[in-house]
Amino acid sequence: TGTVIPSDLYGFAERLTPAERGVITELREVLSTQVHPHLNAAWDEARFPAEIIAPLRGLELMDPPALRGAGEPIRDLFLGFRNFELTRCDINVATYYNAQASLFRTVCAVGGSAEQARELDPKIVSHELTGVFGLTEPEHGSDVAGGLATTATQDPQTQDWIIEGAKRWIGGATAADVVATFARDTADGQVKCFLVPTSAAGVSMKVIPRKASLRIMQNADITYHQVRVRDSARLQRINSFSDVAGCLRRMRSDVAWMATGAMAGAYEAALSYVRQREQFGRPIAGFQLIQEKLALMLGNLTASLGMVVQLTEQQAAGIYRDENSALAKMYTSLRLRETVALAREVCGGNGITLDTDVARFHADAEAIYSYEGTHEINALIVGRAVTGVGAFT
Ligand code: FAD
């Protein structure tokens, strides 16, 4: 097996530099000693414990000191394996971290003017400014491109914008400083994006209760009533939904890495269980039908890892398109669903308790399956690209 990641059979992580591997190894150690021990209780109680995010911030994973010290650039491949490692520990932790490190950082980098991006990025990297991504609405999920109903009206006197509307499912919003809020300009009908402070007058939020997936991570319903923001809070390079799609392309590739990391987490937890569980007088790991399931899980993981590594090489070279990341998000999420089901299966009855870790991955995989574009929507993006015919409406 791989020397960098235990379940990396083909050794994809060997492409990391020694300094990058060092950061990933340190991350793994912090996750297993400081984060993992809190997870199952937090999941059971549906609460987000602050103590699980502090150690991650301390590692400065968006710009690790070890890479800076070695004079190495922050490569997309490193960021991919970072997402893999976070999710290998837990989907909630990775999703929470990536609201800042992937969704918010990407929208500011891609959507901000050069000056805005220069000003915002260091604050995002240091967590001095925390933000989340507010696109989905109560009445518009898959059809948000055409349906987005939150409005932004510019005051001709002050140039301020008045935001009115609602968002749903916004991950991490209650703990953030700002919500990157997408709204339709009432003058030209185009989708624009505004960094709306969560403390602004007229913003109210409610945590979505009773979730059966991703219970540690908090998602919010947000309403905006006559919320006034300065023109300087508008990200200058988001002037239509196709600019939003440019952000989603990058985010879908991050989620594909997360789905792959979650497969590794579920597979490794299952492998450890079957080695110690005995039936008929011997470890169930020795039964042929159990070994076939392990091979299926490892096959899903290995194929997905190969896919995301190649996608990331394309991304770094600037030669990938919407369908490339849509396909990876769709495929890895589907394989994840299959993998967590197999992992749960080999754990028998204990697979439905939190104690084996597998039940958490099994339930949380459903969130990955639906967010960042559902299976169907990503399939339709691929379908449109390969046939030339859009089938969305
Ligand atoms: P719907 O659009 O109502 O879809 C319901 C079903 O209909 C799906 O199976 C869908 O694929 C299918 N469907 C819809 N249209 C078609 C079609 N044309 N053809 C075939 N099938 C179709 N959003 C944010 O903006 N920020 C976040 O931080 C965020 N975090 C999230 C975290 C979680 C845990 C979840 C569950 C969601 C999050 N989302 C977030 C929202 C997420 O992106 C949406 O849930 C997703 O886009 C689907 O929208 P919907 O839930 O409204 O489903």
Tokens of 90: 């837990």
Q: Is the pLDDT reported for residue 2 higher than 60? A: no
Q: Is the pLDDT reported for residue 112 higher than 50? A: yes
Report the alpha-carbon distance of residue 47 to residue 65 in Å, rounded. Answer: 31
Q: Is the pLDDT reported for residue 60 higher than 60? A: yes
Atom in ligand 1 nearest the alpha carbon of residue 393: 18
Q: Whose CA is nearest to atom 14 of ligand 1?
A: 142
Sign of CA dihedral 60, 63, 64, 66: negative
The rounded mean pLDDT for the chain is 96
Residue 1: pLDDT band with limits 50, 70, 90? very low
Q: Is the separation of the CB atoms in 162 and 228 below 8 Å?
A: yes
Q: Which residues does residue 234 pair with via DSSP β-bridges, in sequence order?
A: 194
Answer yes or no: is the C-beta of 183 below 6 A from any ligand 1 atom.
no
Mutate to test the pocket of ligand 1, among 98, 100, 169 (most ligand atoms within 8 A of CB): 169
Lowest model confidence (mean pLDDT) among 53-62, 138-147, 383-392: 53-62
Q: Whose CA is nearest to atom 20 of ligand 1?
A: 376
Enter the pTM of the model: 0.98
* 102, 133, 146, 346, 347 from 352: Cα distances, Å: 31, 32, 40, 11, 8
Q: Is the pLDDT reported for residue 292 higher than 70? A: yes
CA atoms within 13 A on the CB side of 154: 16
Sequence-distant (≥ 6) Cβ neighbours of residue 26 within 8 angstroms: 59, 66
Answer yes or no: is the C-beta of 96 below 6 A from any ligand 1 atom.
no
pLDDT on residue 135: 98
Instruction: For the chain, give the percent of residues with pLDDT over 70.
Output: 99
| pLDDT tens figures, 257-276 | 999 999 999 999 999 999 99
Alpha helices in 49-104 (DSSP H): 54-58, 65-69, 76-89, 91-98
| pLDDT tens figures, 356-372 | 999 999 999 999 999 99
How many C-beta neighbours within 10 Å does residue 391 have? 10
Lowest model confidence (mean pLDDT) among 4-13, 324-333, 384-393: 4-13
Answer yes or no: is the C-beta of 106 below 6 A from any ligand 1 atom.
no
Q: Is the separation of the CB atoms in 234 and 146 below 8 Å?
A: no
Atom in ligand 1 nearest the alpha carbon of residue 213: 34
Beta-strand runs (E) in 1-140:
131-134
Mutate to test the pocket of ligand 1, among 377, 381, 384 (most ligand atoms within 8 A of CB): 377
Q: Is the pLDDT reported for residue 139 higher than 50? A: yes
What mean pLDDT is predicted for residues 308-330?
Answer: 95
CA angle (34, 40, 43) in 5-degree steps: 115
Answer yes or no: is the C-beta of 141 below 6 A from any ligand 1 atom.
yes
What mean pLDDT is predicted for residues 177-200?
Answer: 98
Give the residue from 14, 13, 80, 87 showing the smallest Cα distance to 56: 87
Q: Is the separation of the CB atoms in 139 and 100 below 8 Å?
A: no
Q: Is the pLDDT reported for residue 47 higher than 60? A: yes
Answer yes or no: is the C-beta of 261 below 6 A from any ligand 1 atom.
no
* 124, 313, 329, 338, 343 from 308: Cα distances, Å: 25, 9, 9, 18, 22
| CA-CA-CA-CA dihedral for 121, 146, 322, 214, to nearest 10 | 70
- How much is the CA Rg of the chain, to the nearest whole Å? 21
Answer yes or no: is the C-beta of 171 below 6 A from any ligand 1 atom.
yes
Buried b (16+ CB within 10 A) or exposed e, 218-237: bbbbbbbeebebeeebbbbe
pLDDT on residue 3: 62
How far away, in angstroms, is 213 Cα from ligand 1 center?
14
Answer yes or no: is the C-beta of 136 below 6 A from any ligand 1 atom.
yes
Q: Is the separation of the CB atoms in 351 and 274 below 8 Å?
A: no
